[in-house]
């Protein structure tokens, strides 16, 4: 393990960015999101939750897939992709790191999404252990240890030092750069922090949510529950929950005509929108109740049914914090769980 004095952090970031692009949580206009590191950046490693999750690096909010040029009856298909060079994502929390595994199951199954895979393979991920979980956190419900996340390199932090350990060959190469700015040691401090973090997690209000009713054999009963009506009644259909969620993977593909041909691009979509999966004849889900139910049934029943019991939620709490109507997955779990256990 290597410990680096936080006063040397900017020098370390500069050394990493000389070798490959470095993306890190940066505060701008009062919000913290991932951004390229540059000298003078207001790095905010102590911020627990970036507004947008790190999934944007592998599954961007919008991306060009290909272009078309037509000359008479001849159509040329142009793949504009360039080779993705290695890059570093620094400061990924344990919940967001688990979300990559959930996305992998979707985008890396056959047929493999090569746009996603190229970025995934190029990334070097430095995770950040949590020292001060918030009340809206409930990652432990899904078996995530926020005190000791994995990744290529794991970073722990206190007021004075950053502590690093490598977990993969990619991580070992990055540690060659980090090592120049620190010294060996820090195991005792890290173990104390892990213990403290786990004690905090155990006391948080959502730590002991009961997921026992969310099983494939209960699909029809959960789908038909009368609780969906009251749960969804105040939903605005704004889609905020889906855009801040690290595991949502819905997208739309559109063509845009330009003076130089047609651009085909992919962009995030939301199952909470009234025109989601719109077809020529009609929409398959015509009410907000149906759309609301679809989102949470997918997270808690459909996805785990297809992928070996893995839930499509990581307990990051972003939807708890951001939903303007306070309609979130915690309420669904509590309401349906209590109802089915009556």
Task: Report pTM.
Answer: 0.92
Domain ranges of the chain: 2-203, 216-341
- Mean pLDDT across the chain: 93
Nearest 5°: the CA angle 204, 207, 209 is 135
φ, ψ (nearest 5 deg) of residue 111: -75, 130
The pair of three-digit structure tokens given for residue 121, joined into one six-digit string: 């393979």
Average pLDDT (61-80) is 90
CA distance 227 to 240: 22
Q: Stretch 182-193: mean pLDDT, rounded?
A: 95
Task: Let me know: does 307 contact 98? Beta carbons within 8 Å.
Answer: no
Give the Cβ contact number of residue 194 at 10 Å. 18
Identify the pLDDT of residue 275. Answer: 77
Residues 6 or more apart whose Cβ sits within 8 Å of residue 198: 145, 147
Q: Which helix (H) or strand (E) holds 46?
A: none
Residue given tokens 């985008």 in the structure block:
107
| Per-residue pLDDT at 81 | 87
Task: Give the C-alpha separation, 211 to 138, whole Å.
Answer: 12
| Long-range contacts formed by 80-83: CB under 8 A, 24+ apart | 81/115, 81/118, 83/118
Decide if pLDDT at 342 tops 60. Answer: no
Tokens 């330009």 — which residue? 258
- Distance set, CA 188 to CA 1, 67, 163, 195 (Å): 11, 55, 11, 11
| pLDDT, tens digit (0-9, with 9 covering 90-100), for 17-35 | 999 999 999 999 999 999 9
d(CA 316, CA 332) in angstroms, rounded, equals: 16
Determine the length of the chain. 342
- pLDDT tens readout for residues 106-125: 999 999 999 999 999 999 99
- Predicted local distance difference test score (pLDDT) of residue 194: 97
């Amino acid at each position: 393990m290597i410990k680096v004095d936080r006063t040397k952090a900017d020098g370390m970031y500069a050394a990493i960015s000389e070798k490959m692009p470095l993306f890190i949580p940066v505060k701008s206009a009062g919000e913290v999101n991932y951004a390229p590191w540059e000298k003078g950046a207001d790095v905010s490693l102590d911020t627990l939750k970036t507004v947008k999750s790190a999934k944007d690096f592998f599954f961007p909010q919008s991306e060009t897939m290909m272009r078309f040029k037509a000359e008479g009856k001849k159509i040329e298909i142009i793949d504009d992709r360039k080779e993705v060079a290695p890059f570093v994502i620094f400061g990924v929390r344990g919940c967001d790191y688990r979300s990559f595994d959930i996305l992998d199951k979707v985008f890396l199954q056959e047929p493999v999404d090569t746009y996603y895979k190229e970025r995934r393979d190029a990334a070097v991920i430095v995770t950040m252990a949590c020292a001060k979980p918030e009340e809206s956190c409930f990652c432990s419900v899904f078996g995530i240890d926020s005190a000791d996340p994995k990744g290529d390199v794991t970073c722990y932090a206190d007021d004075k030092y950053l502590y690093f350990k490598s977990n993969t060959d990619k991580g070992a190469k990055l540690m060659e750069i980090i090592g120049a700015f620190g010294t060996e040691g820090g195991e005792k401090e890290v173990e104390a922090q892990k213990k403290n973090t786990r004690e905090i997690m155990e006391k948080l209000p959502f730590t002991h949510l009961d997921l026992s009713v969310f099983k494939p054999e209960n699909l029809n009963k959960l789908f038909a529950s009368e609780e969906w009506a009251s749960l969804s009644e105040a939903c605005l259909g704004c889609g905020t929950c889906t855009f801040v969620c690290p595991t949502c993977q819905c997208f739309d593909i559109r063509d845009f005509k330009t003076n130089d041909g047609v651009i085909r691009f992919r962009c995030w979509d939301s199952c909470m929108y009234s025109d989601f999966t719109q077809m020529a004849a009609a929409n398959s889900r015509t009410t907000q109740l149906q759309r609301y139910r679809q989102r949470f049934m997918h997270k808690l029943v459909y996805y785990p049914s297809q992928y070996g019991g893995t839930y499509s939620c990581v307990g990051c709490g972003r939807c708890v914090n951001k939903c303007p109507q306070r309609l979130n997955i915690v309420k669904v779990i509590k309401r349906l769980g209590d109802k089915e256990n009556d």
